[in-house]
Amino acid sequence: MNRINQIISVGSVDGVLTSAALLRLIGRDDVGLQFTQAFSVDKVDVTKFPEAARVALVDLAVNNRDPSMTAGFIARLQEAGHQVVAVIDEHSREDWIEIVGQVPNTGCYHTAPDDEYNRHHDSFFVNCEACCSNSLPREFEGLIIEPQSQAEGTYKSSGAVLAAAANDLLDTHGVELCQAADAGDRMDFTTHFGAIVNQAVKSDISNDARRVYLARHLAQNAEADDTIRGWMVEYEQILADHDIIVAAATDLGGGIIRVNTTGRKVDVTTLMARLYRSGARVVISEGELFVPDLKMKKLMIAFGTSEKIDILAAVKAAGVPASGFAQKANVDLADEAGALVAIRALLG
């Protein structure tokens, strides 16, 4: 485990805390740490990693919209001379197996007798036919930690995957990090470490430098320092804004609540969860959204739901231009009324 010298992690609470636990296990200060997302691994510059880096992927799922992006990422790592030695991910083992078939075979890399990876190999996606008797087609041979499947498996978070794989190596602090990571993956941020990371990240959610700072600090410390506490105070102001937004919400009947977030900084996930818990089936939110085609923010209307219904399809079927995904439909201000009619019909 202590041979890992580069971590690539997703920036969720689960990812940050699992990375912290992994850093604690590795026990060195020279480990690289970079945060990304499944849909942005094509932007990771692998040439900036240490030479012949031994890489651990944390909470990083295969990009289910474009699996070839993940395959290309793994191929770039290999071509740069790096080796993925751990995939600490709970999303879908099957998706990772599919990726194996898209990654060029780079052959076997034998290890020295005293190497901790001395079963057969220290490379990712190995072809054993040339040199081993147990000729398995490119599987997970050689990984210290293999990806798991959340849907039908035991492990529901990357924290749980790491805890199970390194159970005998984790101290009390490391176990608590993994437990908080596991809770955070289910949107439970009430744990000590989960609350720290959630509040410190959410006040500047696109700032990955905060995530790096948090993971490195919490790998060694149980309490927030002054820098982290300052970030947490910023989040308290966001929660105060939530109170104002909820107090001014309009009940449109039929389980539909309308709010206006314009000019306020919000944690969308937390705010929506609060409104859904209050009984809202659909939340209409007026506020600024980033429009990729315009490369700028624009005042728009977002329809959201926590129910397993396809509101985007319903809105589009009504002839209203919309973007988003099944449980969220974004429309122009002028199209709110038409979209609302479609949503009411869907709710019945």
Residue 323, classed as helix, strand or coil, is strand
Percent of the chain with pLDDT over 90: 76
E-strand stretches of the chain: 6-10, 32-36, 54-58, 83-88, 250-253, 256-260, 282-291, 296-305, 323-325, 328-331
| 67 pLDDT tier (thresholds 50, 70, 90) | very high
Structure tokens at 70: 């993940």
Instruction: State the CB neighbour count (10 A cutoff) for residue 164.
Output: 13
Instruction: Output 152 or 178, whichever has higher pLDDT.
Output: 178
pLDDT, tens digit, 9 for 90 and up, residues 12-61: 999 999 999 999 999 999 999 999 999 999 999 999 999 999 999 999 99
Residue 288, classed as helix, strand or coil, is strand
| 132 pLDDT tier (thresholds 50, 70, 90) | very low
d(CA 285, CA 268): 10
Whether pLDDT at 2 is above 90: no
Task: Name the nearest CA neighbour of 188 among 153, 159, 149.
Answer: 159
292: Cα within 13 Å, side-chain hemisphere: 3
Instruction: Kindly list the distances between the CA atom of residue 117 and the CA atoms of 3, 121, 123, 139, 197, in Å, as whole numbers in the listed order.
Output: 9, 7, 9, 16, 33
In this predicted structure, what is the pLDDT of residue 118?
A: 37
End-to-end CA distance of the chain: 55
| 114 pLDDT tier (thresholds 50, 70, 90) | very low
| 120 pLDDT tier (thresholds 50, 70, 90) | very low
Give helix then strand counts, H and E, for the chain. Answer: 11, 10
Whether pLDDT at 162 is above 70: yes
In this predicted structure, what is the pLDDT of residue 32?
A: 97
In this predicted structure, what is the pLDDT of residue 291?
A: 77
d(CA 294, CA 287): 16
Structure tokens at 9: 């992690």
Instruction: Output 301 or 132, whichever has higher pLDDT.
Output: 301
Which class in CATH covers the domain with range 248-347?
alpha beta
Average pLDDT in the 262-285 region?
94
In this predicted structure, what is the pLDDT of residue 102?
A: 53
Whether pLDDT at 113 is above 50: no
Task: Dump the DSSP string for 57-95.
Answer: EES----TT-HHHHHHHHHHHHHTT-EEEEEE--S-HHH
pLDDT, tens digit, 9 for 90 and up, residues 325-336: 999 999 999 999
Average pLDDT in the 107-136 region?
37
In this predicted structure, what is the pLDDT of residue 292?
A: 75
d(CA 9, CA 182): 15
Whether pLDDT at 116 is above 50: no
207: Cα within 13 Å, side-chain hemisphere: 13
Where do the domains of the chain lie? 6-229, 248-347
Question: Which of 63-77, 117-131, 213-227 shows the highest mean pLDDT?
Answer: 213-227
| 135 pLDDT tier (thresholds 50, 70, 90) | very low
d(CA 210, CA 98): 33
Whether pLDDT at 347 is above 80: yes
**DSSP character for 118?**
-
Are the CB atoms for 38 and 90 separated by under 8 Å? no
